[in-house]
């Protein structure tokens, strides 16, 4: 089983052995608390400072605007709740194709009396910029739009979205958990995590120039998120960022080879351009994704029959429904997400298997 071909990198990725190597000393030797006033503490604090600079540089930002979190879910919660709680405006705009950590936070905010507009998308998953413009009103505090969609890979035109927000004095947040290190990111608030880029799970960050404290206690993270820092994970996150920035070409080649090999046999979901470089989502109409998932398991291919967070749900994917797929089309879909650790040989085998399954 553990030799299966892993094509579920949108759910999570293998820790790069080079990341493990830099993390290990912080688990075994440099285990000090960064707040401690001795050599162990100094070593840990120095590692965090260095890591923060790596993340900041990757966004052309200042280190003091990067705050480590426990991952993408916490990053999204912190930004959405803090911005809304601390604004005298009560309206937030998002999309129907956000990750659940944004959608369910928005639903909860609605229960607290906030108003949320959920923008629809076209058949490739793009929002309509005119609709965004006309949805902004005097009560709008924040726009929150996922940059690279986790299911269908659509990369929104964040630059134009940001321009519209700035022209209308509205703040922009983007969930960049899937797009980080793959495309440039610019917004007022950014959510990041490490486990989609061969870093450890349970570590993420936010970019913010000004934000209220999230967790109260000690003075960690500039007194905005208290709690002893997860030093090994922070060190691993930064190493993963460095490696990921250097290694995107192989990923896109594998993704394109896969699409080219299957496109005449399946219905590709999502755009052909402006798409996350690791994402292939498609339907084999007439075959249920439960059936397809089982067949691929038998062929030792690990992929996603829905997004990982809802793979246990029987409902058709809300993202595929939002781009206009019927229940049948949505329920016959698969998501393959490649990584730099896949090989051309694996992709050849996968193409052959998919062709066979469509017959």
Residues lying near ligand PLP in the complex (CB under 6 A) are found at 71-73, 99, 101, 146, 150, 175, 177-178, 193, 195, 204, 308-309
Minimum CB distance to ligand PLP, residue 255 (Å): 17
Element (H, E) at 208: strand 204-208
Nearest approach in angstroms of CB 11 to ligand PLP is: 7
Identified catalytic residue from 106, 177, 303, 309? 309
The full DSSP string for 293-336 is HHHHHHTTEE-BSS-GGGTT--SPPHHHHHTT--HHHHTTEEEE
To the nearest whole angstrom, how small is the minimum distance from the Cβ of residue 264 to ligand PLP? 29
Residue 319 — φ and ψ, nearest 5°? Answer: -70, -45
HEC string of 40-89?
Answer: HHHHHHHHHHHHHHHHHHHCCCCHHHEEEECCHHHHHHHHHHHHHHCCCC
Q: To the nearest whole angstrom, how small is the minimum distance from the Cβ of residue 186 to ligand PLP?
A: 17
Which residues touch 198 (CB under 8 Å, ≥6 apart)? Answer: 13, 14, 15, 16, 19, 240, 243, 244, 339, 340, 341
Residue 329, CA distances (Å) to 282, 317, 323 in order: 9, 10, 11
Residue at shortest CB range from ligand PLP:
72
Tell me how many degrees the CA angle 119-279-249 measures, rounded to the nearest 5: 125
Helical packing angle, 289-298 and 344-358, nearest 10°: 130
For ligand PLP, the closer of residues 175 and 188 by Cβ is: 175
CB-wise, 32 or 71, nearer to ligand PLP?
A: 71
What is the rounded CA–CA span in Å between residue 103 and residue 105?
Answer: 5
Least distance from ligand PLP to the Cβ atom of residue 101, Å? 5
Q: How far apart are the first and last CA of the chain?
A: 26
In 3D space, the residue among 181, 183, 215 whose CA is nearest the CA of residue 195 turns out to be 181
Concerning whether 309 is annotated as a catalytic residue, the answer is: yes
* Closest CB 96 distance from ligand PLP, rounded Å: 14
Catalytic residue ranges = 309
């Amino acid at each position: 089983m553990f030799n299966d071909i892993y094509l579920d990198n949108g759910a999570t990725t293998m820790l790069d052995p080079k990341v493990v190597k830099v993390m290990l000393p912080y688990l075994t030797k440099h285990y000090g608390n960064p707040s401690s006033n001795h050599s162990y503490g100094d070593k840990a604090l120095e590692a965090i400072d260095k890591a923060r600079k790596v993340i900041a540089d990757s966004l052309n930002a200042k280190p003091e605007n990067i705050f480590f979190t426990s991952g993408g879910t916490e990053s999204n919660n912190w930004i959405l709740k803090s911005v809304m709680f601390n604004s005298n405006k009560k309206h937030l705009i998002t999309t129907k194709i956000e990750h659940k950590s944004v959608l369910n936070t928005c639903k909860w905010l609605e229960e607290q009396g906030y108003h949320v507009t959920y923008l629809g998308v076209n058949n490739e998953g793009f929002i309509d910029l005119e609709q965004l413009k006309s949805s902004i009103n005097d009560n709008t505090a924040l726009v929150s739009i996922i940059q690279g969609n986790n299911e269908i890979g659509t990369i929104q035109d964040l630059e134009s979205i940001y321009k519209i927000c700035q022209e209308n004095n509205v703040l922009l947040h983007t969930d960049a958990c899937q797009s980080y290190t793959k495309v440039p990111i610019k917004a007022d608030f950014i959510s990041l995590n490490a486990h989609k880029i061969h870093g450890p799970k349970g570590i993420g960050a936010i970019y913010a120039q000004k934000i209220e404290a999230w967790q109260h206690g000690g003075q960690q993270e500039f007194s905005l998120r208290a709690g002893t820092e997860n030093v090994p994970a922070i060190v691993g996150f930064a190493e993963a960022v460095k490696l990921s920035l250097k290694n995107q070409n192989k990923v896109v080649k594998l993704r394109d080879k896969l699409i080219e090999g299957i496109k005449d046999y399946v219905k590709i979901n999502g755009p052909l351009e402006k798409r996350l470089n690791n994402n292939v989502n498609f339907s084999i109409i007439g075959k249920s994704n439960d059936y397809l998932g089982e067949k691929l398991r038998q062929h030792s291919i690990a992929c996603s029959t829905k997004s990982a967070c809802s793979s246990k749900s029987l409902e058709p994917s809300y993202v595929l429904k939002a781009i206009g797929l019927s229940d049948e089309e949505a329920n016959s879909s698969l998501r393959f997400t490649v990584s730099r650790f896949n090989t051309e040989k694996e992709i050849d085998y996968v193409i052959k298997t998919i062709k066979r399954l469509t017959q």
